[in-house]
Structure 1
């Protein structure tokens, strides 16, 4: 049993001794395989970087037009190769060649960016802007302003791709410069650490330090420090080893470069290598270290397996060597490869500035096109009407009002159009320049925004001049503009919040100037209504005065812009809901008070104007028409509720005023009806023969009646009461009064008072009623 176990143990031991080495060999082979595969992978990657210029030159020469995606892929490959050589071989010729290709590619991409942006940046068609305005008018203030497409989506994507690469390239270059500056600063401190440590010494100790002064003197004379100040032979050996190692590295890089340029294996000719080495040694760019010790005693490491840790690298001024530059000749099979050149420094292309300039011009052209279109369409009907009506042509005020109306209508359209186009521009610039697009957008909209603000200031100046002439209809025309600006206030604030405070202040300043002008005009308007001296434009027929209709129209339109009135009366913003409700109630009270005050002043002004008429009956008709117009206009608008809320009943108040004027008018017929009374009429019985004296009295009464009727009919036939109900009511009352008196008079005087009664009895009662019915009827 023991022998069996011993035999089994021996066999197992033998088997183990046989398998374990095989296993170890297998593991080593697998490890070598993985290492080989990894090495091959890195080698292929390195080879691809060496061949990047040759593989991409054909696409780079053709340019990015029509093949932008392939072009950017090639540029990306060149960029990766540059990063590789920057890390692995920063002093090699490949890096300079790659940088030259990248500079050329960058110039081509900048040119392509300019071409695409200039070719597809066109002013927005006026028809498209008008469609946006129509949709905005249909949606009202509930919906926002719709954006428009400025550049086709495919071309915009190309512009975005180019700008993304160019901006990334500029950012990488900036970061690289910062790193280089930081490294330079660090190296300078490493080379002269005493500058930092001795910076805290006193001036006397700084200049009396013997070691520092000795070192400074030695460096200023261009000599090396003496051997006495160095640790003897070890340092000299390290210096020489460093110099020799650097020469061999340069020789190796030169051979590699020559191999790639000639597209063949490096030559192992011994003489050429020695010649190159001899040239390197004789080059004046190498730093030579003088020593009196033989080379055999120097500690030189094996350069075939250099150990970076064992080589004490010296400062940059002792180890940086410059090798002779050799330009490789391209092989015949790759004739399309561009020769290497170092691009000349050119003026930097400001991508964002160029984009802002191009888009700013297009935005300004779009706004000018819309303005010209709206002005032309609104001006044509005015010119046609002025050709037809010569009176309008002579009226300068009507012409000024028409021009101001055209300017305001055009300006309101431009406000919405600018908001839509500016939002579209911001959306596009945020895609083209995702990071820090605020400055570009602000520069882009400056020209159009300044023009918009200037047009608004021109309107404010025109309204101010009109108000100085007491033409407050211009203020009514400006209220829609102020309402539109207040309506779009949130949109403007959201759009301009990314700009500087100066840009946003331009819009706020315009709104403030309009509010200030409107507040001052409202204050002057009430006093002007009371003391309006216009008595020359009184109508001959007693119809409604223009000043009365303008005043009522002004009040109606003033109340239709509640937000504008609120901002005028209370220009300061309020945030709290409670405060807002209090302000709204205060505004309502002020509007009620001001409206009632204006109506009282208007009533006083109309009464003073009625005194211009010599005929009191015509003055009564004038007041009746104006009071009736005020009542009808108030009942049709929100003025009725405003006046009624203040504690006054306009229907009752103006109804009483109208009845008073009717009574004043009826007094004008007293000279007709007094002739028909029994006063001075002789008493007689039917069938009695009248005396000559009594006949003469009857003749005089008929004569006075006829003359008074004809006189009143001739004068009042030219008067007018446009309101049909009022005209019928006043004619009915007058007809009944005169006809009743006339019929009674005829029944009373039905005697033979003349041989020719037709001379005195000219009108029958029916004819008298018909004459009264034709009064005040313009169409009669």
Structure 2
């Protein structure tokens, strides 16, 4: 307390004598401390995870049709990851606040427990480690920014606090933006390689940063607007990348150049992979809805539809768009069969596979929102292909 009191007196004397250069010194010194704290956290995250781990799941357009029954199916669990990184961020906040209280006597107020489910105690998913690391750092930076605001309240007069605060957080904020740009750059490379499953990591990051945005904006609202702009920049990058991944997935179906077809007219590998990808999207319905709503084509469709859940409706429109393109591509590929019986059988098997897959998941529920007659269409198509197959033998 004595050191703190002396610091306040020195700051007051310097300012009253026109010596405001100490503001820059203070900002740079505290900024260095903040950056080192963030760097230490990042290094710790990498050390416990064995370095930055990127998803290695292959493209849904390249996966094998049937997974090895002995392989464990590891589906993303955003809820588990939420618990993991929120728990780690809260631990860091606790440690930082205890240090602050011990050295200055200041308190951060009541520390609320996480509202997230804490029952999960298992291991994190390796292919989502980078997402976890990044989100922990963003949450930690937000907490540290709040601590820095408390620290400078008495020693920096209100009129100069915005300028000093920007100096303190500038380097750390630039680091977070750069890390976000790196994630987006790798995601774009995955899109270019048609590795769409790996790109799904974009959506939980986007979701969590959007959830953090109101608190973040309240923290910086009285300070430099550049900090808010940088945070919005990260969200915009993630939004654009997620949108591109969704649209490029449809384009990859349309432009698929593989001419090898099942010799017995069974389900095409692309069909099973498309269904699997759509099933993965169900975990991110709310986030994907936010992304699609910014697209004029989807927003126009939504405006014509009365739905109690706009996010489900928007994902339903996307599912329809994907399956319509899949159907067109399969019909085009079926023309490669010289045998009319195989052509009809191929169309029959793929239509039946899509219908049964939709019905055994909640995909059908969403598809029905955008296309109420979709089930009837598939039943009719199946009957037509059965008839064509039978006639080919007469």
Shorter-chain TM-score bucket reads 0.5 to 0.7
Aligned length: 311
Q: Does 1:489 align with 2:218?
A: no
CA-CA distance at 1:602 after TM superposition? 1.2
Equivalent residue, structure 2, for 1:360: 35
Distance 1:634 1:468, change over 3 A: same
Of 404, 409, 433, 2:152 maps to 433
Of 256, 268, 274, 1:545 maps to 268
Equivalent residue, structure 2, for 1:370: 45
Distance in 2 between residues matched to 1:355 and 1:632, nearest whole Å: 60
Of 354, 359, 366, 1:642 maps to 366
CA-CA distance at 1:569 after TM superposition? 3.4
Task: Check whether the contact 2:141–2:172 (CA below 8 A) recurs between aligned residues.
Answer: no
Task: Check whether the contact 1:592–1:642 (CA below 8 A) recurs between aligned residues.
Answer: yes
Task: Check whether the contact 1:363–1:445 (CA below 8 A) recurs between aligned residues.
Answer: no
Distance in 2 between residues matched to 1:643 and 1:603, nearest whole Å: 15
TM-score (norm 2): 0.63
The answer for unaligned runs of 5 or more in structure 2 is 58-124, 296-302
Distance 1:521 1:349, change over 3 A: closer
Distance in 2 between residues matched to 1:477 and 1:617, nearest whole Å: 42
Distance 1:357 1:596, change over 3 A: closer
- Structure having greater relative contact order (Cα 8 Å, sep ≥ 6): 2
Distance in 2 between residues matched to 1:643 and 1:594, nearest whole Å: 9
CA-CA distance at 1:659 after TM superposition? 4.1
User: Aligned ranges for residues 565-644 of structure 1 at < 5 Å?
Assistant: 565-571=288-294, 591-644=315-368
User: Aligned ranges for residues 118-137 of structure 1 at < 5 Å?
Assistant: none
CA-CA distance at 1:605 after TM superposition? 1.2
CA-CA distance at 1:630 after TM superposition? 1.3
1:561 counterpart SS class: helix
User: Aligned ranges for residues 276-675 of structure 1 at < 5 Å?
Assistant: 350-374=25-49, 376=51, 378=53, 409-435=128-154, 436=156, 441-536=165-260, 538-540=261-263, 542-571=265-294, 591-663=315-387
Aligned alpha-carbon RMSD (Å) = 4.1
User: Aligned ranges for residues 245-256 of structure 1 at < 5 Å?
Assistant: none
CA deviation profile, 1:36-83 (whole Å, cap 9, x unmatched): xxxxxxxxxxxxxxxxxxxxxxxxxxxxxxxxxxxxxxxxxxxxxxxx
CA-CA distance at 1:587 after TM superposition? 6.4
Distance 1:407 1:640, change over 3 A: same
Distance 1:481 1:633, change over 3 A: farther
CA-CA distance at 1:365 after TM superposition? 1.7
1:417 counterpart SS class: helix
CA-CA distance at 1:171 after TM superposition? 0.9
CA-CA distance at 1:427 after TM superposition? 4.4
TM-score (norm 1): 0.35
Distance 1:583 1:596, change over 3 A: closer
Q: Does 1:164 align with 2:17?
A: no
Distance in 1 between residues matched to 2:221 and 2:35, nearest whole Å: 19
CA deviation profile, 1:489-518 (whole Å, cap 9, x unmatched): 223323443542222212212222332344
Distance in 2 between residues matched to 1:489 and 1:534, nearest whole Å: 44
CA-CA distance at 1:592 after TM superposition? 4.0
Rg bigger for which structure?
1
Task: Check whether the contact 2:286–2:312 (CA below 8 A) recurs between aligned residues.
Answer: no
Task: Check whether the contact 1:473–1:554 (CA below 8 A) recurs between aligned residues.
Answer: yes
1:563 counterpart SS class: helix
Distance 1:583 1:626, change over 3 A: closer
Equivalent residue, structure 2, for 1:33: none
2:257 counterpart SS class: coil
Equivalent residue, structure 2, for 1:309: none
CA-CA distance at 1:360 after TM superposition? 1.9
CA-CA distance at 1:352 after TM superposition? 5.0
Task: Check whether the contact 1:555–1:595 (CA below 8 A) recurs between aligned residues.
Answer: yes
Distance 1:166 1:645, change over 3 A: closer
Equivalent residue, structure 2, for 1:318: none
User: Aligned ranges for residues 738-757 of structure 1 at < 5 Å?
Assistant: none
Distance in 2 between residues matched to 1:610 and 1:380, nearest whole Å: 34
Task: Check whether the contact 1:356–1:440 (CA below 8 A) recurs between aligned residues.
Answer: no
Distance in 2 between residues matched to 1:542 and 1:492, nearest whole Å: 55
CA-CA distance at 1:370 after TM superposition? 0.9
Distance in 2 between residues matched to 1:163 and 1:593, nearest whole Å: 60
1:535 counterpart SS class: coil
Distance 1:622 1:487, change over 3 A: farther
2:153 counterpart SS class: coil
1:488 counterpart SS class: helix
Task: Check whether the contact 2:54–2:128 (CA below 8 A) recurs between aligned residues.
Answer: no
Distance in 1 between residues matched to 2:179 and 2:220, nearest whole Å: 19
Distance in 2 between residues matched to 1:657 and 1:358, nearest whole Å: 66
Distance 1:525 1:353, change over 3 A: closer
Task: Check whether the contact 1:359–1:444 (CA below 8 A) recurs between aligned residues.
Answer: yes
CA deviation profile, 1:411-459 (whole Å, cap 9, x unmatched): 4213431244224423433443333465555444433432322222123
1:648 counterpart SS class: coil
Task: Check whether the contact 1:367–1:448 (CA below 8 A) recurs between aligned residues.
Answer: no
Distance 1:610 1:571, change over 3 A: closer
